[in-house]
Amino acid sequence: MKRVFPILAILTAVLLTYGLYGALIAAPTEKTMGDVQRIFYYHVPSAWTAFTFFFLNLVASVVYLLRRNPKADALALAAAEVGVVFCTVVLVTGPIWARPVWGIWWTWDLRLTLTLVLWLIYVSYLVLRRFSSSGQTPVLAAVLAIFGALDVPLVYFSIWFFRTQHPQPVIGGGGSIDPRMLHVLLINWAAFSCFAILVCWSRYHLEVLSREVEETQALESLLESGSPR
Amino acid sequence: MSFGIMRATLAKDLRLEWRSKDAINAMLFFALLVVVIFSFSFDPTAEESRRIAGGLIWVAFLFAAIVALNQTWARELRNQVLDAYRVSPAPANSLFLAKALGNFIFVTVLEALMTPLFIVFYNLRALGPAYQLFIVAALGTWALVVNGTFFAAMSLRTRSREIMLPLLLFPITIPALLAMVEATSSILTGEYSARFWIVLLVAYDVVFTMASLFLFELVLQAE
């Protein structure tokens, strides 16, 4: 496994460079939106990556509750952090694109709202982890992750109905996409996924190591206080 | 699940509250303040107030309910009552249900006392079927209380737990709050049917009641 890490790092660097070239130069300029549309190559892959990592967090949380394996908990934490970062990228790049194209920064559209609520839930997840004392954190966080997952379909239906009741500016969706654009999009998606896996991996490793250090320190201080002077 | 234990815990909580009236007094005064501040902040016409009243009412109740929810478990920390619960063979979910029912009663009393004030201050009159407001109130209150009781138990183990509860509760409550507000507004204005929102509230209540009953044992025993 140690070997895979540098290989993945090199692959990520190559893919990100190629993705950047594709997004800025190789991909054709969109007819009506112009160059602003190029943010799409970062926005959409970030969204897919964020959702994948939130899902990974849920799986790791359930595994933790069933098996009580501390490594699953470390993975859940790393996945949630990476997911929140990519979700933030989505929420920032979205309005930058929407302002010139829709004429508004934000609309309470289904996908936007769902992403925002997911982001809020996972930020509260990270806050909980930060604020609770070490021993019980994994269980409480895993339970909160399950609650968050249960909430997603309810949010989806509520916003869906909320928005169908009140008409909204039409969102440019569907339609066909130029194959060259799709190519760049997929390259960027692969690059972002590799990058996210890389970051999540390092974070996971760091978390496992720092827990080991903590345990060793606790053990040492216990031994010290126990030994006669 | 044991109904005997549930009844005993609920009776104990109600008796405690009846003698001290801590939670209900704090909630009532807090909600009163919110109502007065809201009516200074917004000075709406009758037509407008009908549209925004749903939001104002539920936000006021949500904030006030936090007061009661924070006390639910914190009260048990004194004299190590919570540790006694933990070592007792009583099933965790009957304890949870008793606490949730207790909070439901407190918040319902609060709503019953505050709603007339809202009607007076905002000149409210329902143009839609008013009986549905009772259904929405019952379902919405349960939605707030069931998650609130659960997250209050979770935030008990954290530093600065008073602030932790709303941070955990609000994001998860968004669909329920949206449903309550929209249902109330559509009944008050009489423009739409509130049926979808009532169904959504029922779904929310069922999902999170089940989840809380299943997972509460883990939270209570987390150590």
In the three-class reduction of DSSP (H, G, I as helix; E, B as strand; rest coil), residue A133 is classed as coil
Flag if A133 and B159 touch (Cβ within 8 Å): yes
Q: Is residue A5 part of a domain?
A: no
Nearest to A81 by CA among A132, A142, A139, A123: A123
Considering only the beta carbons, identify the residue of A123, A127, A162 that sits closest to B182.
A162
Provide the mean pLDDT of chain A.
85
**Looking at chain A, which residue has its C-alpha nearest residue B183?**
A162
pLDDT in tens, A95-153: 888 888 888 888 777 788 888 999 999 999 999 998 887 678 889 999 999 999 998 88
Separation in Å, CA of A210 to nearest CA in chain B: 20
* Side-chain half-sphere CA neighbours of B174 within 13 A: 26
pLDDT at B203: 93
In the three-class reduction of DSSP (H, G, I as helix; E, B as strand; rest coil), residue B16 is classed as helix
CA distances from A127 to A81, B30, B159, B161, B175 (A): 11, 26, 11, 12, 21
CA atoms of A66 and A150, how far apart (whole Å): 18
Say if CB B172 and CB A148 are below 8 A apart: yes
Average pLDDT over residues A42-61: 92
Considering only the beta carbons, identify the residue of B168, B178, B222 that sits closest to A136.
B222
Separation in Å, CA of B149 to nearest CA in chain A: 14
* C-alpha torsion sign, points A110, A112, A115, A119: negative
Flag if A136 and B172 touch (Cβ within 8 Å): no
Q: Is residue A119 part of a domain?
A: yes
| Residues within 8 A of A (CB atoms), B 173-192 only | 174-176, 178-179, 182, 192
- pLDDT band, very low/low/confident/very high, at A66 (cuts 50, 70, 90): very high
pLDDT at A169: 45
Q: Is residue A3 part of a domain?
A: no
* Side-chain half-sphere CA neighbours of B162 within 13 A: 4
CA atoms of B144 and B204, how far apart (whole Å): 10
Nearest to A39 by CA among A94, A101, A77, A87: A94
pLDDT in tens, A169-189: 444 445 566 777 888 888 888
Separation in Å, CA of A42 to nearest CA in chain B: 27
Q: Is residue A34 part of a domain?
A: yes
pLDDT values of chain B reduced to their tens digit, one per residue, 223 residues: 778 888 988 998 889 888 988 888 888 898 888 888 887 787 767 677 777 888 888 988 999 999 889 888 888 888 888 888 888 888 888 889 999 999 999 999 999 998 888 888 877 777 778 888 899 999 999 999 999 999 998 888 788 778 889 999 999 999 999 899 989 888 888 877 888 889 999 999 999 999 999 999 888 887 6
CA atoms of A37 and A29, how far apart (whole Å): 8
Q: Which residues on B lie below 8 Å from A131 (Cβ)?
A: 158-160, 164
Nearest to B163 by CA among A211, A124, A149: A124
Flag if B172 and A139 touch (Cβ within 8 Å): no
Say if CB B106 and CB B67 are below 8 A apart: no
Q: Is residue A4 part of a domain?
A: no
Total length of chain B: 223
Considering only the beta carbons, identify the residue of B150, B157, B200 that sits closest to A132.
B157
Q: Phi-psi bin for B160: left (phi > 0), alpha (psi -120 to 50), beta?
A: left
Residue found under tokens 């895979």: A4
Q: Phi-psi bin for A103: left (phi > 0), alpha (psi -120 to 50), beta?
A: left
Q: Which of A128, A137, A160 to mutate to test the interface with B (most CBs of B within 10 A)?
A: A128
Q: Is A152 on the interface with B (CB under 8 A)?
A: no
pLDDT at A175: 53
Separation in Å, CA of B12 to nearest CA in chain A: 27
Record the tokens describing residue A169, joined without a space.
């500016």
Flag if A124 and B178 touch (Cβ within 8 Å): no
Q: Which of A67, A115, A131 to mutate to test the interface with B (most CBs of B within 10 A)?
A: A131
Total length of chain A: 229
Separation in Å, CA of B85 to nearest CA in chain A: 18
pLDDT at A23: 85
CA atoms of B194 and B126, how far apart (whole Å): 13
Considering only the beta carbons, identify the residue of A117, A140, A150 that sits closest to B154.
A140
User: Is pLDDT at A200 greater than 80 in this prediction?
Assistant: yes
Flag if B167 and A124 touch (Cβ within 8 Å): yes
Backbone angles phi, psi at A132, to 5 degrees: -95, 150
Question: What's the distance, Cα to Cα, between the start and end of chain A in Å?
Answer: 45
Question: How many domains in chain A?
Answer: 1
As to burial, measured by CB atoms within 10 angstroms (0-12 exposed, 13-18 middle, 19+ buried), residue A224 is: exposed
Q: Is residue A71 part of a domain?
A: yes
Considering only the beta carbons, identify the residue of B171, B179, B197 that sits closest to A124.
B171
- The DSSP-derived string for A73-131 is HHHHHHHHHHHHHHHHHHHHHHHHHHHHHHSSS----HHHHHHHHHHHHHHHHHHHHHH
ipTM of the complex: 0.86
pLDDT at A229: 53
Q: Is A32 on the interface with B (CB under 8 A)?
A: no
pLDDT at A228: 59
pLDDT at B103: 93
Q: Tell me how far the alpha carbon of residue B161 is from its chain's centroid.
A: 18
Flag if B175 and A154 touch (Cβ within 8 Å): yes
Range of the domain at A123: 12-167+176-226
Nearest to A30 by CA among A187, A186, A170, A184: A184
Q: Is residue A6 part of a domain?
A: no
Separation in Å, CA of B129 to nearest CA in chain A: 19
Flag if B215 and A146 touch (Cβ within 8 Å): yes
pLDDT at B142: 95
Flag if A133 and B157 touch (Cβ within 8 Å): yes
CA atoms of A173 and A222, how far apart (whole Å): 61
